[in-house]
Structure 1
Amino acid sequence: MHQLRIIVILLQLLAVSFCAAASPPELSQAAQHIDSNPAYALELLLPLIEQAQENEDSKTEAIALRYAGMAYHRMGKPADAALFLQDGLSAARLNGHRAEEGDLLNTFGIYCFDIGMYEQSQRYFLQALEIRKQSDDTLGIARTTNNLGRIQDKIGNFDRAIEYYQESLALKNTTAEINGRILTLSNMGLAYKGKGDLEQAIRLYQEALLLSEQTTYPEGEGYAQQNLGEAYRLLGRLDLSLSHCTKALDAYRSVRYQPRLSQAAFETALTYQALKDYPNAEQLYNEALELATSQNQQELIRDIMKQLALLSEEEGDLSSALSYFKRFVALQDALSSVYNREKILILDAEHRSRYQQAEITLLRRDAELNQSKLQQQHFIVFALSALSLTALGSIYYFRRQVKLRRAKEAELLIVTQALQEANSRLNHLAATDSLTKLSNRRQFDQSYPEDCARAKENGLDIALILADIDFFKQYNDQLGHLAGDRCLRQVASLLRRCLKETPYWAARYGGEEFAIVLYNAGVAEAAKVAECFRRSLENLTLAHPLSPNGQITISLGIASALSCGSYQPDVLFKAADDALYLAKSGGRNQVQQ
């Protein structure tokens, strides 16, 4: 029995050593600076992303892209933030990294919330919550539940928001997540403020502020200070309001968190205006407006327009007041219709989510019963396996004596195999494109004519697909070569997936062009493969700001030896190239033959 226990412990330790995987130290270092110094975090992250792509370490790539998106978001660069978050989400989904996909969806939801895309934000949060529940990620569930509460608070569903916050706090109290508790307490205070209970709101804000003194978390401190400033302003205690607002500004400026800094500047300006300090109020309104405009915070811009109009009216500048009021009314009309539409969609999704959760609870109970039975069976199998291992130890001793006699012979064989493998690796490197890991132009020029000759000799058809990424030069010029290289890797990875279950092969012909050779296949099969590739890339929705479609697409031309009447490689290539020209001149994002 003692021997069996030792074997069990050894096997458990071995499993842990294989399963444990720590993030690279550079990632941890960058993560520490995202809140305090996002620009420095980016200096660490951008080379790390490139290195992960070169090493085909898709998990590290997805994490680093998420961190970079967070850093850009805090710096007030929403376009860059969206690009990196989308790339990270694509990398996680393409390679099956579910935990990282959940993290990216949650971060993307926060980004959408901060720029006023609430319905899209909720969709990301619900997807993240589903993934995190599947893996029993307590802290992740708590964070996403808190974020769903913010959505409900935004549409005025305060009681449901409080339910989410209470659920989130209960989960966070079981972990060491102090920062998350600070934010959730402040969020719950906002919901109570929405219900008209300012006293309860202030108690929650003060609890959050006290908690922030136990840790170094300027974002959480700033959030609590800002909310307290607003509450005291509503109560008419303006000196106390100004004190909390200026502390919120200092906290957000210390970490350069632009999305929250714009809100804090606006709240401080409101207090200055209530104090009749018009110069400071106007200065902070203009600062908030500049920040909100750079981050596309339309609701905040609307509120600033209204306050600038009132400020101008109080100062007797009726011309400016009229101009600001006109801009306020235009924004209010535009946002009202969007808000009503999004509120309906959010409430509908919330209803469906709660109904589905009830079904999931029933299924989980059934699964737990089955799991209990399986565990009993696993224990019996494990015990038998352990006894088998003991017997195998004795057999191993005798077999070792035989192996020692053959050691010299085996050593020579190993050296020979190592040389063969080294030669094979060198040949592979010489034939592989270093960026996309597809065959390179040199390999295509060598193998493509050989396949054509072999098809002719055996009386078989052969097809060729030429593909070209649409508007890729504009993508490179706008977003830079690092983004262009990342795009090429993603397209190549998708192409490999499309060909995974087929005997066909692909090469990077040059720049943004790819060639696919289909031995023993005709035009119909080539059209099927080409359309699969085109549709899969379209469904991936990689953002392209200068494309008419708003995303990365690809055009493809196909031809076969029988369709063009020749097995000559050059003739077949020209036929496919002509078809590609038709696809691009006909509007792109299509297949032609």
Structure 2
Amino acid sequence: MNLDILKQAVFESRDGITISDALTPGNPLIFVNPAFERLTGYNAEEALYRNCGYLQNDDREQSEIAVIRQAVAQGEPCLCTLRNYRKDGSLFWNELSISPIYNKHGTVTNFIGIQKDVTSRVLLDQQLRQKNKLLEESTIELAQLATRDGLTGIYNRRFFDTQHAIQWGIAMRNKDTLALFLIDVDYFKQFNDTYGHQAGDVALQSIAESLNKSFVRGSDFVARYGGEEFVILSVGLSVQQATEYTARICERVRQLNIEHPASATGHITISIGFTVSMPAVSAQPSSMIEQADKALYQAKAQGRNQAVGV
């Protein structure tokens, strides 16, 4: 091929082209084309006989720089994208491709570098990553909204129903017990009538937090069942353990010390109905709800502020 054509191609290229001297310490540049000058703002006189590391200014803590150095040391080609800075200090993202040139003895004498400004592409990629991150966060938030109760932050009834069916199947397969606690805030309508719904909401939030702190095992599941009712699912408890849990729950709610004149104690209390069973093929998860509900009704009939198990 005609050398004049090759020379013209190098000078007319829209990409920056450089040639460095691999036999001289520091691998200094010995040629830059006009596109390199336009890209960096450095003319040939300013650019030549210097290692092109000056394009990084003080921004040298880039992993790509180590990749380039290793490639040069081993006489190998490499392609990377790194932050470079023009003469005026403005940043651009440089897609740099370097390739070794060998003499007839197999010695690397030079490196040819192709430099392309890919700032627009990198910024677009960054924007896309940011949008994807926001999308992921939004997806997580939507999932939270779908599974969490908006007032208390604990799980909602719909998600509880799903988990109840799942845990029922797991417990049946593992021949394990499943405990279900149905909890109702005593005289809550009167509390709202006395203090207002905003105070009622705050009380429900405090009770939900207390319940959550009472059941901290990975298999424990606390949800708002509706209104002033809560439901808790726990795997592997015996009847004795479940009874001890209910005593602890009632005491924790009493310790919240939420004033309630309509209550016999003068403070908010709860009633609990619970059941412990080993799921069987012949039964359904809903049977536990029915049993716990009957026990809850009994707890209320016996004066509230207590737990009854069946």
- TM-score normalised per structure 2: 0.57
Size of the aligned set, in residue pairs, is 200
**Compared CA separation, residues 445 and 501, structure 1 to 2 (3 A):** closer
What SS does the corresponding residue of 2:287 show, helix, strand or coil?
helix
Residue of structure 2 equivalent to 1:438: 154
**Compared CA separation, residues 469 and 398, structure 1 to 2 (3 A):** same
CA displacement 1:283-330 (0-9 Å, x = unmatched) = xxxxxxxxxxxxxxxxxxxxxxxxxxxxxxxxxxxxxxxxxxxxxxxx
**Compared CA separation, residues 413 and 494, structure 1 to 2 (3 A):** same
1:426 partnered with 2:142: yes
What's the offset of the Cα at 1:580? 1.1
Choose which of 279, 296, 302 in structure 2 pairs with 1:580: 296
Residue of structure 1 equivalent to 2:273: 557
Choose which of 502, 511, 514 in structure 1 pairs with 2:227: 511
What SS does the corresponding residue of 2:159 show, helix, strand or coil?
helix
Residue of structure 2 equivalent to 1:476: 192
Is the CA contact (8 Å cut-off) linking 2:177 and 2:279 kept in structure 1?
Answer: no
Choose which of 242, 248, 252 in structure 2 pairs with 1:532: 248
Is the CA contact (8 Å cut-off) linking 1:453 and 1:567 kept in structure 2?
Answer: no
Residue of structure 1 equivalent to 2:61: 397
Is the CA contact (8 Å cut-off) linking 2:223 and 2:230 kept in structure 1?
Answer: yes
CA displacement 1:539-582 (0-9 Å, x = unmatched) = 22111011111000111111122399965111111111111112
What's the offset of the Cα at 1:421? 3.2
Separation in structure 1 between the aligned mates of residue 191 and residue 146 of structure 2, nearest angstrom: 29
**Compared CA separation, residues 429 and 563, structure 1 to 2 (3 A):** closer
CA displacement 1:500-542 (0-9 Å, x = unmatched) = 3553111110110000011333433332332221111112211
Is the CA contact (8 Å cut-off) linking 1:452 and 1:567 kept in structure 2?
Answer: no
Separation in structure 2 between the aligned mates of residue 426 and residue 508 of structure 1, nearest angstrom: 18
Choose which of 426, 443, 450 in structure 1 pairs with 2:166: 450
What SS does the corresponding residue of 1:467 show, helix, strand or coil?
strand
**Compared CA separation, residues 548 and 416, structure 1 to 2 (3 A):** same
What's the offset of the Cα at 1:443? 1.3
Amino acid at match of 2:147: A
CA displacement 1:20-61 (0-9 Å, x = unmatched) = xxxxxxxxxxxxxxxxxxxxxxxxxxxxxxxxxxxxxxxxxx
Separation in structure 1 between the aligned mates of residue 227 and residue 298 of structure 2, nearest angstrom: 20
What SS does the corresponding residue of 2:260 show, helix, strand or coil?
coil
Choose which of 455, 459, 473 in structure 1 pairs with 2:175: 459
Is the CA contact (8 Å cut-off) linking 2:185 and 2:271 kept in structure 1?
Answer: yes
Separation in structure 2 between the aligned mates of residue 395 and residue 457 of structure 1, nearest angstrom: 59
Q: Indicate the structure whose relative CO is greater, using CA pairs within 8 Å and at least 6 residues apart.
A: 2
Separation in structure 1 between the aligned mates of residue 257 and residue 60 of structure 2, nearest angstrom: 55
- TM-score normalised per structure 1: 0.31
What SS does the corresponding residue of 1:556 show, helix, strand or coil?
strand
**Compared CA separation, residues 454 and 503, structure 1 to 2 (3 A):** closer
Separation in structure 2 between the aligned mates of residue 555 and residue 566 of structure 1, nearest angstrom: 30
Q: Percent identity?
A: 35
Q: Which region of structure 1 is more displaced relative to structure 2, 422-431 or 496-505?
A: 496-505
What SS does the corresponding residue of 1:397 show, helix, strand or coil?
coil
Is the CA contact (8 Å cut-off) linking 2:178 and 2:279 kept in structure 1?
Answer: no
Is the CA contact (8 Å cut-off) linking 1:456 and 1:567 kept in structure 2?
Answer: no
**Compared CA separation, residues 582 and 414, structure 1 to 2 (3 A):** same
Separation in structure 2 between the aligned mates of residue 501 and residue 424 of structure 1, nearest angstrom: 23
CA displacement 1:265-294 (0-9 Å, x = unmatched) = xxxxxxxxxxxxxxxxxxxxxxxxxxxxxx
Separation in structure 2 between the aligned mates of residue 523 and residue 539 of structure 1, nearest angstrom: 24
Higher normalized helix content (fraction of residues): 1
Is the CA contact (8 Å cut-off) linking 1:522 and 1:562 kept in structure 2?
Answer: no
**Compared CA separation, residues 421 and 589, structure 1 to 2 (3 A):** same
Separation in structure 2 between the aligned mates of residue 426 and residue 537 of structure 1, nearest angstrom: 31
Amino acid at match of 1:529: Y
What is the RMSD of the two structures over their aligned residues, measured on CA atoms?
Answer: 3.0
What's the offset of the Cα at 1:457? 2.4
**Compared CA separation, residues 469 and 564, structure 1 to 2 (3 A):** farther
Separation in structure 2 between the aligned mates of residue 409 and residue 528 of structure 1, nearest angstrom: 59
What's the offset of the Cα at 1:424? 2.0
**Compared CA separation, residues 404 and 587, structure 1 to 2 (3 A):** farther
Specify every segment of 5 or more residues in structure 1 that has no aligned partner in the other structure, as ranges. 1-393
**Compared CA separation, residues 543 and 419, structure 1 to 2 (3 A):** same
